[in-house]
Structure 1
Amino acid sequence: MVDPTSDHHEDIDEDEAPECATCGDAIANEVTHRVITWIEDSTVETAHFCNEDCRLEWQ
């Protein structure tokens, strides 16, 4: 798993890249990558998105 605070758009292999929470595509080397974080049951949760459109669709 890739550290969610790292620069995902720099030299990430698709096998290690996070998947978009909306469309399921691997997010590797994309400058449009977006991440939302929240706390749920005392745990930090994250959702990754390949672009702003997928992030808005997820809401």
Structure 2
Amino acid sequence: MVDPTSDHHEDIDEEDAPNCAVCETAIANEVTHRVITWIDGDAVETAHFCDEDCRSSWNGA
């Protein structure tokens, strides 16, 4: 897994890249990549988005 705080748009292979939480597209080497991080109980959760449109349309599920 790729560190969610790293620069995902730099030299990431598609098989190692996270998928968009909305459209499921692999997010490899995209400067439009967005990440939301939150705490759920004792765990840190993250959701990745390929762009601001997907980020805005996410329902938080």
Q: Tell me, yes or no, whether TM beats 0.5.
A: yes
Residue of structure 2 in register with 1:26 after alignment: 26
Report % sequence identity: 76
Aligned ranges 1:1-59 → 2 under 5 Å: 1-59=1-59
TM-align CA RMSD: 0.6
**Could you tell me how far 1:41 is from its partner in structure 2?**
1.2
Query: Displacement of 1:45 after TM fit?
Result: 0.3
- Normalised TM-score (structure 1): 0.96
Which whole-Å deviations, capped at 9, do the CAs of 1:10-41 have from their partners, x for residues lacking one?
Answer: 00000000000000000000000000000001
Unaligned stretches of 5+ residues in structure 1:
none
* Structure 2, unaligned runs of 5 or more: none
Give SS of 1:45's match.
strand
TM-score normalised according to structure 2 size: 0.93
Question: How many equivalent residue pairs?
Answer: 59
Off by >2 Å, runs of 4+ in structure 1: none
